[in-house]
Structure 1
Amino acid sequence: MNTQERVVPVLNIIGPVGIGKSSTAEAISEILGHDYTLPHAVVDLDYVRHAYPAPREDPFNMELGFKNLAAVWNNYRSIGAKCLIIPSVMESREHLDKLRMSVPGADLFVVRLVASLEVNHARIRGREKTIDSLNWHLQRSTQLNKELAQKKLEHVIVDTESKLPSDIGREIIRKWGIVEWHGSTFAQEEE
């Protein structure tokens, strides 16, 4: 099978700012690597789209993120990555479609992380360094919490309240089915 035609399981972890997307992605990566030796990559879209100034028509630099994702995924794929984990806020089906276009063969599985606003805001208060940043993130998390609940972009919802990232990661791995996929793919490649 041509590499371009190969199915690529892609886990997109969405949710409001401060909900634990990056921490969960790191936990999943550790579990997949240590427990299952599954070749994978993690690309945090927040990092690959971080540039200043952002275009007025694209204030969160999403287009830059999708372009950079495509380039970075090609590099990861060239060294043997079989699947991809992407923590990032996705606000529309259009964003999900662009994510799919950035990763040829993407089989996208979207997980939305949730917690109460009180817990989400406490996490934000623990990480933000300035009052301006704190206020912006608190407002943005409240807005995204409401919008994402209405849009229902996800395949599954995972409650993060009172859970460790490793426990959240194991729950997502089970729901994603990536371990079973990897086992069946590995068996096919051995034939």
Structure 2
Amino acid sequence: MNHAEVLLIGGRAGVGKSTVAWEVSAQLQAVEAAHAVVEGDLMGQVHPAPEGDPHRAGITERNLTAVWSNFAELGCRRLIYTNTVSVLPESAAMFERAMGADVRIVRVLLTASDATTYGRLSGREIGSELDREVANSVRKARLLDEHSPADTVRVATDGRKVTDIAREVVAVTGWGDPVGPAVRPGPPRS
């Protein structure tokens, strides 16, 4: 495989993007399928926002380009990327610039009910951030539902085991066969 491929895992806050991504990685590691994982939210996590880049899109792309370059130097051709809105059409151009114009983009939108995401968010958010996160989650769920491209595969997470969800996501990618040298990401941060 000469061209790069990226699996974009999007979805509202509390849907399980990071958890699913790490399980997808574990399943790919089990079959020695080379890949890398990037938590997209961390690519632009800087305060204050760079001058002229209030939404941090520029710094996110610069960081993604640098990180992908390092992975590609190791022979990696597959990337798992998590970010709430990564599946939206306007994200494609960033991945084409960072990974090459012929990058194959696979979009997976994880979905969950308001009740499920509220339960997950209330388990991880403390202090004054819970109400803001819940409101943002509801707003983003609507946005994603209305604007995700037709080729986006929707995967429900309500009441399901993460291993089953990840198996469904891996099947969408077609990455179940080993390709290239293994690039093993580190464990998720707490």
Sequence identity, in percent? 29
Unaligned ranges ≥5, structure 2: 182-190
- How do residues 64-143 of structure 1 correspond to structure 2 at under 5 angstroms? 64-90=59-85, 92-104=88-100, 105-131=102-128, 133-143=129-139
SS of alignment partner, residue 111 of structure 1 = strand
TM-score normalised according to structure 1 size: 0.85
- State the distance in 2 between where 1:128 and 1:95 align: 27
Unaligned ranges ≥5, structure 1: 187-191
- State the distance in 2 between where 1:152 and 1:94 align: 10
Hey, what does 1:149 align to over in structure 2? 145
Residue 82 of structure 1 and its aligned partner are, at CA, apart by 2.5
Residue 56 of structure 1 and its aligned partner are, at CA, apart by 7.7
- State the distance in 1 between where 2:164 and 2:21 align: 12
Deviations 1:30-79 (A, max 9, x none): 11012x10111001111121111125865442321111011001111111
Hey, what does 1:189 align to over in structure 2? none
Residue 103 of structure 1 and its aligned partner are, at CA, apart by 1.2
- Number of aligned pairs? 178
- State the distance in 1 between where 2:99 and 2:6 align: 8
Contact 2:28 2:175 (8 Å CA) reproduced: no
Hey, what does 2:157 align to over in structure 1? 160
TM-score normalised according to structure 2 size: 0.85
**Alignment partner for residue 39 of structure 2, among 32, 39, 44?**
44
Contact 1:10 1:84 (8 Å CA) reproduced: yes
Q: CA RMSD in A?
A: 2.1
SS of alignment partner, residue 176 of structure 2 = helix
- State the distance in 1 between where 2:49 and 2:118 align: 26
- State the distance in 1 between where 2:82 and 2:161 align: 17
Contact 2:108 2:153 (8 Å CA) reproduced: yes
Q: Kindly provide the amino acid, as one letter, of the partner of residue 32 in structure 1.
A: L
Change in Cα spacing, 1:31 to 1:156, as seen in structure 2 (3 Å) is same
Looking at both structures, which has the greater relative contact order when contacts are Cα pairs under 8 Å and sequence separation is at least 6?
2
SS of alignment partner, residue 124 of structure 1 = helix
More helix by share: 1
- State the distance in 2 between where 1:168 and 1:44 align: 18
Structure 1 window deviating more from structure 2 (155-164 vs 87-96): it is 87-96
